[in-house]
Amino acid sequence: AGRSASQAALEFMKAYNNSSLETADIISKLNSALAKHCKITRAAAGGNGVDRLFFALKSLHAKKHPNEPIPTLFLDKSWQVLQETILSTSNCGNEALRHFGFGPVSQNGFGIGYIIKEDCINICVTSRHRQTDRYINSLTAYFGRIQDMLLEINPRISRRFLARDGTAESGGGYSFFGEDDMEMDAPPKVGRPLRE
């Protein structure tokens, strides 16, 4: 798993919430956080993430010492916290699909399946008992603010790339996939109209 918490991500969030900073400084922090996240993700994909190491240690102990209790590290509260993934994401990578669902991996978490396309990002958010609509609204507001910032520092960015018409739609938790009244002929509306 690629853990997204990093010092660079924290610095970006502090900058994002600091209204006295220049937009270019906030976007610079965003770029630093994205670069760090890409590095962490590449390491995890190569088997060098913290999760793989601990999983290997626990599995090796179970194989080599099947009759012994597991090491106290795996009984510690910090291990339990590390196993509780609140935000779990997965990129489908297939632009031909309209939707890609990905369920939460823990009872209290969110599952986010997304597809990055040429002119948009399709996102499906699921949860069992969380405030899915509230999360989607927050995510939509975040994307809108980042869009405004990108246009502010570079007005020549392709508007087609930045947004699609409409607003986020939500079916709330898992019910999204079972709604009979959902129009399947048109892609769901995500984002918001660009200002002219």
CB 20 within 8 A of CB 66: no
Q: Is the pLDDT of residue 155 over 80?
A: no
Q: Which string of b and e fits 172-185 if b means at least 16 CB within 10 Å?
A: ebeebeeeeeeeee
Q: What does the alpha-carbon distance between residue 169 and residue 188 come to, in Å, rounded to a whole number? A: 7
Q: What is the pLDDT of residue 101?
A: 83
9 neighbors 31 (Cβ within 8 angstroms)? no
Q: Which residues lie below 8 Å from residue 44, measured CB to CB, with a gap of 6+?
A: 1, 2, 3, 51, 52
Q: What is the pLDDT of residue 2?
A: 67
pLDDT tens digits, residue range 100-124? 888 888 888 999 998 888 777 888 8
More reliable by pLDDT, 29 or 171: 29
pTM value is 0.69
- Residues facing residue 113 across a β-bridge: 90, 124
- Per-residue pLDDT averaged across 143-164, rounded? 75
Question: What confidence tier does 194 reach under pLDDT thresholds 50, 70, 90?
Answer: low
Reported as a pLDDT band with limits 50, 70 and 90, residue 182 is very low
Q: How confident is the model at residue 170 (pLDDT cuts 50, 70, 90)?
A: very low
Which pLDDT value is given to residue 167?
Answer: 45
